[in-house]
Structures are given as C-alpha cells and as structure tokens.
Structure 1
Amino acid sequence: MKIPSRWVRNSFCAVVAGLAVNVAQAEQVAMETTGSASVLSVIPQAMASHWAADGVDLQLILNQTLTKSLLKLGQGTLDTAIVPPLAYNALSNGSGPYAGLGDKAVTLSKDVRALFAIPGSPFHPIVWADSGIKTWADAKDKRIYIGPPAGAANKQLIALTKEGGLEEGEYEPVKAPWGAANQGFQDGQYDVYIGAFGLGSQVLTELSLSRDVYFLTLEEDTVPPKGWGLTKVVIEPGTYAGQTNEKPVTTWGTLMMMASRKDLSDDIAYQLTKTYMENRAAVAETNSLLRLLPKTGPFDGLNAPLHPGAVRYYKEVGIEIPAELLPPSE
C-alpha cells in the first residue's frame, strides 16, 4: 500500500501531493530550513521526490531560525537542518547567539555532524543604474544595507564591503530584516543594497524591470575569508533583464551545510548524502536558482565533522575527505 509522503510543514502545515513511498521501507526524517522563497528551501523541496524514491520520507519545516535549528541538532531533538558554518563556529566556542549557554554550547556542538555542503545565495551589491555609483569607491559616505539587525550576515557583508575598498566608518551602515530590505531600497532608504538572492531570482528580475540596476564588483582574484562560509561567485551580464553591467561581476556567496544530529542512523545519513550527490545535477536543470548545485564541492565551507554515514558514501565513490572533517574516534 502506498500513501502520500508527508514532507513539508510550515508554521501550520503544507502538504505537497504527488510523492508516494512504501510505508514499510520509508524512514521519516525531519528537516528545518529557512523561508519558502529562499534557495535554501527550494533545494530540499526539489530533492524531496528523489529522497522519497530512495526510501527517505522528508518532513520539511520551513521559516525557521537556523541558529535555533542548529541548537536542536545539538540537543538531539531534530534530525537534520541546513545551517550556516558561522553559526556552528559560534556554537563550538559559545559565542554570538549561544554566549548565554557557556560551556554547554561547546558540549552541544560535539553532537552535530555534517553531511554535505550546499550553495546559499550570492550577495548582489545593487545600485540604481542612474545613481552615479559605478565602483565601491563611489559609495564612500553613502548608505549601505548590511543585512538584518543581528546575525552572521552583518559580519559577512561588512567584510564584503571592506574587500570592495570601504572600511567601517567610510559609509553609513543600514540594518533591516531581509524581508523588508527590497522595499527599503525602492523607498530610497539606502544607496547600496547588498541583497542575498539565488542567481536569476525572480524578485530581483522584477526589481530590475521596474528600474535599471547595476552591480558593484570585486576584483577577479578576490578570496573570501577562510572559515566564514563564503565562496567566490560570478554574475554574468544579462542574468537580469534590467542589469546594465557589460562585464562579469565578481562577488561572494554564502555556503551552507546540511547537518544532522550525531545519533542519526548511519543508513539514513548515507542515503541522504548518496541521493543528493547523485541527483543534484539533474535537479539543477529544473530551476535556474539551483544552477550552483553541481558547482559546489561536497566539503566547501564545512567546519563540522562528517557523519559516519556520509563518510561511508564518500569512501565508497572514491572522494578524498579532508582529514579535519573526519569524525573523531569515540
């Protein structure tokens, strides 16, 4: 007998029909990620049917705060989640959002394991094409959006702006929630809007159709800070309808990791990893937002030790594992 796979729950519950798995074989796995419009939710939704076909019944919980999801993994109350490497750094040394936990945060970090890396969203340093701002130097003394009031993005966007040539104090930083940032730019609240969008984002396409945009670029040989969950990304001319850049734009993009609780079964960790790695190229062809999937290495940006089930898959297919990512001996 077959039943529809339960795999998406929002604040209430959203059921996506059409997936069928064998009840006797399916293993239910709860996974948390961010908002439904984010590439970080599009990826697991696109992978759900492939995991279902391989016996993993995914219950995807959207609109979550990923720092809290990571905490749940350490506590063993959640199976898997997409988490920022910077958040894992903070948990492992009891800083940032976990400062109040003290040594307990460090202990919890030891109960988190990584499966594979996934691309997040490239940062798009946007200005209106008629603003007169064509370089980072032109943005000196201007208002620059640097992300939400709190979180890892602030640190990353400040570093991106510094890489462009502007030190803190040489511009006016503006903070606002991601959800309000797009409207804030249209309302003139800042001159440079560093937005996080999947390549080819419909939201950014619509913005560029309302008024031509221009993206500020970094030097081609830019290297993001190591351990910050960042990678170099190139935005080609013509990616957006109203984009006026005639040359490729070099920027940074976020890297995330699919993580799990330490005691998730080896078989489930193995299957999640195997199915993702074998189907990511095909999935990328179904949605332009996912074009970076096959270009992201499985260990890019990872800073948590791998789950033994994931290790089993990588060894099986002959992928060399960095020594620092091997799980500690128990």
Structure 2
Amino acid sequence: MLNIKLRSLKTLSTSLCAAVLLSASAAQVQAAETFRMSTLGPGSSPYMVMTHFANTVNKALPEYSIIVNATGVAPKHALDTSKGRGEFFMMSPSIHSYMKTGGGMFGKIKQAPELAQNLRAVFMFPMGLYQGVTYADDNIHSLKDLKGKRVFAGPPGGVSRRTVETMIRAATGYEPGEDYTSVKLGHESASQAFQDHNIDVYFNATVAPSPVISQIALTNQVRFIGVDMDTFNANPALQKLLNTPGYSVKTLEPGVYGENQVNTDPVYTIGINVGIATHKDLDEETIYNMTKAYWDGIEAQKASTPWLRNLNLDGVFADMNMPMHPGAMRYFQEIGLDVPEVK
C-alpha cells in the first residue's frame, strides 16, 4: 500500500515537473514580441529585402517575430504605421515628401504632415531600376511600340504606376486607357500574367538581376525597353520626375540576364532608393538589436544570394529624407558611420 502511494506521489511529481517545463516552454514561445511589416508584393525589390530582413531577425533574435504583409500600397502603409497600426513599412523618399507637405496622394488627408512626424528611418536600400521587359519575339523594341498593347505599369494607386506612365507619356505621348491598356493587377498576379503571355510588357522596380525576371529569361529570350538620354534631358515631365527625392537615371547593362537578354546596348531608365522605416516610439534597444543582427550577418550571405550584393553600408543613408530612429543611429555610429541629420 505504501509502495503504491509512493509510486503515485512520484508519478504526480514527475507529471507536475513536466507540466511546469511545458508551461515555461509555452511562455517562452508566447513571449516573442510580434511586429507587423508592410511592403510591396512578391517579386518586388522591397518585398525581397524586407522579407530577408524579417527572416534574418526572426532567426537571430527568437524573442522577436516579424510578420510580413505584402498587400496594399505604400502610401497606406506609411499612414498605418504613423497611426500605430503597424511597426515597419517601406519608406519611399518621394511618398514621405508628399506626406510631409500634404501634397500628392495625401492632398485630402489634413493630418498627413502631423502624422509624418511619427516616422523614423531604419536604413535605406536600392529599390532598383524600373525594368520594362518584353518577350523578344513580340517585336516590341521601344516604348513607341506600346500602342495597343497590354502593359503592367504597377499596382493601381501606387507610385510605381504613376512613374512608369509618366515615362511612357514623356517618350511617346501615349495615354493609359487610350493608346495602351494599363492593366490593374498586383505585382504577383502581373508577373504570372506576363509568364502566361497575357501581358505584353511587364514593368517592375527591382534590383538587377531580378529573381522573377531571371526565371523568365532562363527559357525565353527577353528585351528591355527604356527612355533615351535625349528625352531624359529635354522632357520637362521627366526632369520634374527626376527632381523627386530618391529618383535618378540608371542604366541596365547588356548581359545582366545572361544570353537570353537580346539587348546589345545599355537601357536607360529610372532608379530609386527606398528604405525600411518604423514608428518613432518603437523601443530603441529593439531597433538597435534588429539593425545589428541584420547588418552583422549580411556579408556572409552574399555569396549564395547574388541580389544581396546590391545592399551595402555605402547606401544606408542614400536619399534619406526622414530622421533616423535612435536605435538604428546607435548601431551605424558604433561601426564608424557618420549619420546625416535629417529634420
């Protein structure tokens, strides 16, 4: 009888210990602080960089859990974060400039300039080039050949769409909906539609080589189209566009996408810098830890991930027109960088 009781007590003790350990383990899992990160759709450069940032941080710092949302458009992401409805978003210098002044897409949002003061930069990175790609056998050699074609210029309501349509208008005089069809799709749906040959020209602002376009170029000959330098230099609309914060003329060189890229001359287009940004009230230590985890580990990954070579410390402040978060500032100062003062 005594042995049975002792055995029962021992079993109960073991069960209690196991329960305590399980509870502690569950508590540790639950203790991971969750952060929401909004970016552009799959296939875009911001999606690639910001998903990579989230995955790197989540792996290196298990106390944090960044969840990526790749729906919606950049202006809404900025507004949501400024109101505390998210923790991270893709910062575009042009969008932030409009938000600070209450212009452009923020014209009807009276509190936009005040809300802009809630935002802080973590670091900048090259969004890449506006790459306009078509299948070589479709006989589209320039923007003037877009007459009557189906073109993906960017998601509805986004800055990318406005930029590409301005480029086409400047080079050709063509208007969307009149001279060509500017299809209304998100990035992921558009890339699939292009692969299915349901779109004639696919524009995407992304690093070169883009994984999405590289996949297409593996089995198809492709041609890239852009704007000639004479038009860039002489067209008032393009000059105004190039005065937008974060914008500059860039070249896509022949051979970037291998033997199936049929271009023999450089293609001139617009390049953009963007960044990861957050709310000013996010904890300094948290942002410091995340920034350090990302940049301390990125060099070792570049050999196996070619597009990461576009990211380097020389560009972390490029075109930054938003104050830097104190946590990110502390990290960059620790490694010897001079952080520019932005008001």
Q: TM-score range by the shorter chain?
A: 0.7 to 0.9
Q: Distance in 1 between matches of 2:191 and 2:219?
A: 12
| Distance change (3 Å), C-alpha of 1:34 and 1:238 | closer
Q: Distance in 1 between matches of 2:135 and 2:55?
A: 40
Q: Name the counterpart of 2:292.
A: 274
Q: One-letter code of the match for 2:84?
A: G
Q: One-letter code of the match for 1:275?
A: A
Deviations 1:131-178 (A, max 9, x none): 444344x43746454223322112221344367x33455953623213
Q: Distance in 1 between matches of 2:244 and 2:22?
A: 44
Match of 1:32 among 28, 38, 42: 38
Deviations 1:106-151 (A, max 9, x none): 1111111111012324322223323444344x43746454223322
| Distance change (3 Å), C-alpha of 1:31 and 1:201 | same
Q: Secondary structure at the match of 1:150?
A: coil
Structure 1, unaligned stretches of length 5 or more?
4-21
Q: What is the Cα-based RMSD across aligned positions, in Å?
A: 3.8
Q: Does 1:318 align with 2:336?
A: yes
Q: Distance in 1 between matches of 2:257 and 2:192?
A: 21
Q: Distance in 1 between matches of 2:146 and 2:56?
A: 48
Compute the displacement of 1:92 (Å). Answer: 2.1
Q: Secondary structure at the match of 2:332?
A: helix
| Distance change (3 Å), C-alpha of 1:162 and 1:286 | farther
Deviations 1:212-235 (A, max 9, x none): 211124457979714343353534
Of the two, which has the highest radius of gyration?
A: 2
Q: Name the counterpart of 1:176.
A: 184
Q: Distance in 1 between matches of 2:69 and 2:335?
A: 32
Q: Name the counterpart of 2:3.
A: none
Q: Is the 8 A contact 1:199 1:235 kept in 2?
A: no
Q: Does 1:213 align with 2:222?
A: yes
Compute the displacement of 1:259 (Å). Answer: 0.6
Q: Name the counterpart of 1:47.
A: 53
Compute the displacement of 1:79 (Å). Answer: 2.1
Give runs of aligned pairs for residues 169-318 of structure 1, distance below 5 A.
169=175, 172=180, 174-177=182-185, 178-182=187-191, 184-185=193-194, 191-209=200-218, 211-218=220-227, 225-231=242-248, 232=250, 234-240=252-258, 242-294=260-312, 297-318=315-336
Q: Distance in 1 between matches of 2:124 and 2:255?
A: 27
| Distance change (3 Å), C-alpha of 1:89 and 1:45 | same
Q: Is the 8 A contact 2:84 2:279 kept in 1?
A: yes
Structure 2, unaligned stretches of length 5 or more?
1-20, 233-238
Q: Does 1:58 align with 2:73?
A: no
**Would you tell me which structure has more helix in proportion to its own residues?**
2
| Distance change (3 Å), C-alpha of 1:317 and 1:227 | farther
Q: Is the 8 A contact 2:43 2:212 kept in 1?
A: no
Q: Is the 8 A contact 2:41 2:188 kept in 1?
A: no
Q: Is the 8 A contact 2:93 2:319 kept in 1?
A: yes
Q: Distance in 1 between matches of 2:313 and 2:22?
A: 36
Compute the displacement of 1:303 (Å). Answer: 2.0
Q: Secondary structure at the match of 2:287?
A: helix
Q: One-letter code of the match for 1:258?
A: I
Q: Is the 8 A contact 1:74 1:109 kept in 2?
A: yes
Q: Name the counterpart of 2:90.
A: 82
The TM-score, its normalising length taken from structure 1, stands at 0.74
Q: Name the counterpart of 2:14.
A: none
Q: One-letter code of the match for 2:217?
A: S
Compute the displacement of 1:37 (Å). Answer: 4.5
189-198 or 84-93: bigger deviation: 189-198
The TM-score, its normalising length taken from structure 2, stands at 0.72
Identity of aligned residues (%): 25
| Distance change (3 Å), C-alpha of 1:220 and 1:234 | farther
Q: Is the 8 A contact 1:117 1:296 kept in 2?
A: no
User: Number of residue pairs matched?
Assistant: 306
Compute the displacement of 1:295 (Å). Answer: 7.5
